[in-house]
């Protein structure tokens, strides 16, 4: 069953003239970064509406800062895995045109992917929540106020209730409309508007995920761990 699915997907990839990959937090769990909604996910331990909203920056900066400081420091001890590197290599070989990601860990960038649309921002860059001026990771980690206006510092991630960078979202829609194959990896597809992107393609839609997700959207579903599946696919390309 699984072998057949892998053979099918490798065939689709070879036939596809414009493949787009969309990833979520499941792409980084094999690097030791927890996802959000599966059994060990962050949101099973912490209420996102408490910590991941802009209001928290004003109402309870200590809580906001503790949560994101923990995530930044966790990141500094982890690395991309072979799955990230395989996707970057596929781009170099022309097998993948664009990578759309919800992940803020920067692992796709570190692994060498170039054409990336990081729709939910990045946890590796920081700014003042008030004057928007850039800030350093060190100033954020050490809970320093903005050096220009004294405001609170935050990572450049899209918080719940904030809108995605419109230009990035528009580029993502253009890429999806051009795609002949969309491969969705490691996401519960629970967060709008990214969740709506896969169905916008006129091409084939493939889902690679550890858990099954209630959807009839996909032409092919491969249940498994991203790194393992990507390595198995690589042997077929
Ligand atoms: N390989 C494949 N799939 C995996 C793996 C893995 N190694 N590990 C976890 N998964 C799957 C889980 O089964 C789950 O279905 O990845 C999915 C991750 O879903 P979420 O935790 O909801 O993460 P994601 O879909 O990226 O969340 C979207 O929500 O909290 C916000 O901004 C945050 O970008 C995030 C957005």
* Domain range list for the chain: 1-32+80-120+164-237, 34-77+122-157
What fold, for 1-32+80-120+164-237? Answer: Rossmann fold (3.40.50)
Q: Which helix (H) or strand (E) holds 117?
A: strand 116-118
In the predicted model, what is the mean pLDDT of the chain? 96
* Whether residue 1 has pLDDT greater than 70: no
Ligand 1 neighbourhood includes 97 CB (under 6 angstroms): no
> What does R_g of the chain's alpha carbons equal in angstroms?
18
- What percent helix, strand, coil does the chain show, rounded to 5? 40, 20, 40
* Gap between the Cα atoms of 113 and 90, Å rounded: 9
Average pLDDT over residues 101-108: 98
- Specify the ligand 1 atom closest to the Cα of 35: 21
Q: How confident is the model at residue 154 (pLDDT cuts 50, 70, 90)?
A: very high
pTM: 0.97
| Each residue's pLDDT tens digit, 131-153 | 999 999 999 999 999 999 999 99
pLDDT of 41 above 80:
yes
Distance between CA atoms of residues 194 and 42, nearest Å? 19
Q: Quick one: angle between helices 226-234 and 82-92, nearest 10?
A: 40
Q: Which atom of ligand 1 is nearest to the CA of 226?
A: 1
pLDDT of residue 11: 97
Q: Any alpha helices (H) in the chain, and if so which ranges?
A: 2-15, 48-51, 54-59, 61-75, 82-92, 107-111, 137-141, 166-178, 226-234
Q: What is the pLDDT of residue 29?
A: 98
Cα–Cα distance between 184 and 176 in angstroms, integer? 12
Cα 24 to averaged position of ligand 1 atoms, centre (Å)? 5
Instruction: Find out if CATH 3.30.1600.10 is the number for domain 34-77+122-157.
Output: yes
What is the per-residue pLDDT across 209-225, written as a single tens digit (0 to 9) for each? 999 888 889 999 999 99
Mean pLDDT of 43-52: 94
Q: 24 is written with which tokens?
A: 């979520």
**Ligand 1 center from residue 48 Cα (angstroms):** 14
């Amino acid at each position: 069953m699984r072998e057949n699915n892998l053979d099918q997907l490798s065939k689709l990839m070879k036939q596809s003239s414009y493949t787009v990959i969309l990833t979520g937090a499941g792409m980084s769990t094999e690097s030791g970064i927890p996802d959000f909604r599966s059994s060990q996910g962050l949101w099973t331990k912490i209420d996102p509406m408490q910590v991941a909203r802009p209001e928290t920056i004003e109402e309870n900066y200590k809580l906001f800062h503790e949560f994101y400081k923990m995530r930044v420091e966790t990141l500094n001890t982890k690395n991309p895995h072979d799955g990230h590197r395989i996707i970057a290599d596929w781009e170099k070989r022309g097998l993948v045109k664009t990578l759309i990601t919800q992940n803020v860990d920067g692992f796709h960038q570190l692994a060498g992917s170039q054409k990336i649309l990081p729709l939910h921002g990045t946890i590796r860059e920081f700014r003042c929540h008030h004057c928007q001026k850039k800030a350093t990771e060190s100033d954020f980690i050490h809970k320093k106020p903005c050096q220009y206006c004294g405001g609170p510092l935050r990572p450049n991630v899209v918080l719940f209730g904030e809108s995605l960078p419109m230009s990035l979202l528009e580029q993502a829609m253009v890429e999806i409309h051009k795609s002949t194959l969309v491969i969705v990896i490691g996401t519960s597809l629970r967060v709008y508007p990214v969740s709506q992107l896969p169905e916008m393609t006129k091409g084939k839609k493939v889902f690679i995920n550890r858990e099954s997700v209630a959807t009839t959207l996909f032409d092919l579903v491969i249940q498994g761990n991203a790194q393992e599946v990507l390595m198995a696919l690589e042997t077929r390309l």
